[in-house]
Amino acid sequence: MKRMSWFNVTSLTLGFAFLYLPMIILVIYSFNASKLVTVWAGFSTRWYGELVQNDAFLDAAWVTIKVAVMSSTLATVLGTMAAYVLVRGGRFLGRTLFSGMIYAPLVMPEVITGLSLLLLFIGIGLDRGVLTIVLAHTTFSMCYVSVVVSSRLVTFDRSLEEAALDLGCSGWDAFRLVTLPIIAPAVISGWLLAFTLSLDDLVIASFTSGPSATTLPIKIFSAVRLGVSPEINALSTIMIAIVTVGVITASLVTKRNAVRAEADTRAAERAQA
């Protein structure tokens, strides 16, 4: 192995320190026995125990997961449909306007999105709760899904769909049996992206949540305002663990598929030679 130059070593250390030092400190203090967050008083899992008994946090966590699953699923359906129309619909009246507008929420300040949704929900007399958060999250995450899916559709060989039609498929069958299975990885990444966005959204959720439903980020934020409790450190550590496992699994699966595909291609080339 080649030795790295001192410059590379420093860059790497600095970069990782910036990224992970805060989280490492958080994880360490979640095992602190003391009630005071900044004073180390020995190792303990006490706060994890207390967390499990904290119904308010557990309720909020449950709401968050429900909202994330529903809103990311809805956003994936709508975002995929929008992407399909934008890439495949050819030229139609208002196409440029539509394609410009679908990306607007990407750059719109969250406060404005949240406020306008709040006004809408009050205007149509919808009680704020899980439903309104789901709708709000769908609204802002579907544009992320459509960006991901449309970038895949642009490179999609159109003749595959034509072949499906030629072999007797209706338009819907061609989409269901050919297009969707092939673009599935992009659709799944879109879903995961929407899911993550919904999980950690605070601003929009705080505009659109009501007394009947509070998400975890709101709960944590309001708890922190009364002082950082070690319980929150424990909760955050669990969330970090979940995300880490998820990311590692996803990248392992991707890598394994890539390796397998490459092996297949090589085998095919050998068979040909």
Partner 1 sequence: MTQTVFAPWDDPNQKPLIRFQNVTKRFGEFVAIDNLTLDIFEKEFFALLGPSGCGKTTMMRMLAGFETVSDGRIELSGKDIGHVPPNKRAVNMMFQSYALFPHLSVWDNIAFGLRRDRKSKSEIDARVDEMLKLTRLEKFGRRKPHQISGGQRQRVALARSLAKAPKLLLLDEPLGALDKKLRQDTQFELMDIQESTGTTFVIVTHDQEEAMTVASRVAVMDEGRIIQVATPANIYEYPNSVYVADFIGDVNIIDATATPTGENTYALNWIDGQPPITAETKTTFSAGQQAHLAIRPEKIRISTERPDEAANALQGKVLDIAYLGNLSTYHVQLPGGQVIKAQTANTRRIARRDITWEDPVWISWSATAGVLLEH
Residue type, 46: R
Asked whether the beta carbons of 67 and 135 are under 8 A apart, the reply is no
The correct pick among 157, 211, 226, 227 for binding partner 1 (CB under 8 A) is 157
State which of residues 101, 163, 253, 259 lies at the interface with partner 1 (CB under 8 A): 163
- Choose the stretch contacting partner 1; rule: CB under 8 A; options: 68-76, 114-122, 163-171, 193-201: 163-171
Asked whether the CA dihedral 170, 171, 173, 179 is positive or negative, the reply is: positive
The span from the CA of 128 to the CA of 212, in Å, is: 8
Tell me how far apart the alpha carbons of residues 236 and 207 are, in angstroms, rounded to a whole number. 23
| Integer Cα distance of 131 and 120 in angstroms | 13
User: Residue 259, interface with partner 1 (CB under 8 A)?
Assistant: no
- Rounded-to-integer distance, Cα 220 and Cα 224, Å: 6
Asked if residue 153 binds partner 1 (CB under 8 A), the reply is no
What is the token pair recorded at 158? Answer: 């159109």
Check: CB of residue 23 under 8 Å from CB of residue 240.
yes
Could you give the string, one character per residue 33-62, with x where binding to partner 1 holds by CB under 8 A and - elsewhere?
A: ------------------------------
151 CB contacts (<8 Å, ≥6 apart)? 186
Question: Does position 155 bind partner 1 by CB under 8 A?
Answer: no
| Least gap, CB of 159 to partner 1 (angstroms) | 4
Which one, 2 or 270, has the nearer CB to partner 1?
270
> Which of 53/272 has CB closer to partner 1?
272
Please give the size of the binding site for partner 1, defined by CB under 8 A.
25
Stretch 170-189: interaction string toward partner 1, x if CB under 8 A = x--x---xx--xx-------
Q: Which two tokens stand for residue 71?
A: 């809103």
Check binding of 169 to partner 1 (CB under 8 A): yes
Q: Which positions touch partner 1 (CB under 8 A)?
A: 157, 159-160, 162-170, 173, 177-178, 181-182, 261, 264-265, 267-269, 271-272
